[in-house]
Structure 1
Amino acid sequence: MNKPITYIAVILWVALIFYFSHQPASESNELSTAITEVIVTAVEKVAPHSDFLVGNINHFVRKNAHFFIYLVLGVLVIRSLHLSGVDRYKAGILALFICILYAISDELHQLVVPGRGAQMRDVLIDSAGAFVGIGIYVAILFRTRVDG
């Protein structure tokens, strides 16, 4: 993947995050509830006697979505920086800094979205996701350089 494509991927992913964050609370909850229902249905097929209530795990699904979406952002940002010639460790620190700043700006953006608000806990979850994504990328990069 060449540099311009990696930057485009970052921009598109950031736009997707912005799109989700710009949804009013009611729309956002409808989306996460629909996803939660799909998960509950799948789990009930595997374990038919489970008693999962959508409302009980919807919060869990929402917070995991934060983690996952920023894990991907972390990978995309460090990949872009690395392909631009930034040393992998400096790229990791810079990528984490960029992801944390975006997580903060994303939460601040939600202050103007109907029914939404800024949550420090979400910034921490987002940052943890970015950190894990960046860590996975660095580990894979290190592993391929050692083996290759």
Structure 2
Amino acid sequence: MNQNKKRIIFYVVILFWLSIIFVLSSQPVSKSNALSKKITEIVINSAERAAPNSNFDFDRTNHLIRKNAHFFSYLILGILIINLMKKSKMGRFKIFIISISFCIVYAISDEFHQIFVSGRGAQIKDVLIDSAGSLMGIAIYEAISKIKKNKY
């Protein structure tokens, strides 16, 4: 596959992921919380099968799952963006700055967008969680790239 086709695929995947984040952020709080609660029930049921006498606080677990969803969705975004940027001829530092900046700006715009969604609001804490996820994704990508490079 030639470089132009690969680049188009990278853009499509990134746009798809940005769309998923946007759609999930567009859900009113009642719908978003219902989805989180379904996932929380699955997690708690699975954990209780593994450790039968555990007492899980449902609300706390649900909150942790919601915040982890932020972290991991932006971790993936960080990986996708740095992967695209690595195809450019820019230096490593510039690639890093552009990648993390893009992710942070998208996180800020996503929180701003939530101001207009029923029951939702913008939270700086979520931008920080999203940014940390992006940074971790970029770091994971770099670590794997370094391992691959040293292996070959």
Q: TM-score, normalised by structure 1?
A: 0.95
Please say if 1:81 is aligned against 2:85. yes
> Is the Cα–Cα contact under 8 Å of residues 92 and 138 in structure 1 kept in the other structure?
no
1:136 CA drift (Å) = 0.7
Please say if 1:20 is aligned against 2:29. no
For residue 14 of structure 2, the aligned residue among 10, 22, 38 is 10
Q: Which runs of 5+ in 1 are unaligned?
A: none
> Is the Cα–Cα contact under 8 Å of residues 24 and 114 in structure 1 kept in the other structure?
yes
- What residue number does 2:142 align with? 138
- What residue number does 1:95 align with? 99
- Structure 1 residues 14-53: Cα deviation after superposition (integer angstroms, max 9, x where no partner): 0000000000010010011111110001001100111113
For residue 109 of structure 2, the aligned residue among 99, 105, 110 is 105
For residue 123 of structure 2, the aligned residue among 119, 124, 128 is 119
Q: Bigger CA drift: 127-136 or 87-96?
A: 87-96
1:54 CA drift (Å) = 1.8
> Is the Cα–Cα contact under 8 Å of residues 111 and 117 in structure 1 kept in the other structure?
yes
C-alpha separation between the residues in 1 aligned to 2:140 and 2:36?
26
C-alpha separation between the residues in 2 aligned to 1:96 and 1:44?
38
- What residue number does 1:32 align with? 36
RMSD: 1.3
Q: The residue matched to 1:83 in structure 2 has which SS?
A: coil
- Structure 1 residues 78-129: Cα deviation after superposition (integer angstroms, max 9, x where no partner): 1111123444432222110000000000000000000000000000000000
For residue 68 of structure 1, the aligned residue among 64, 68, 72 is 72
1:8 CA drift (Å) = 0.8
* Structure 1 segments (4+ residues) deviating >4 Å: none
> Is the Cα–Cα contact under 8 Å of residues 74 and 96 in structure 1 kept in the other structure?
yes
1:143 CA drift (Å) = 2.0
- Percent identical pairs in the alignment equals 48
Aligned residues: 148
C-alpha separation between the residues in 1 aligned to 2:85 and 2:42?
36
> Is the Cα–Cα contact under 8 Å of residues 88 and 138 in structure 1 kept in the other structure?
no
C-alpha separation between the residues in 1 aligned to 2:101 and 2:22?
18
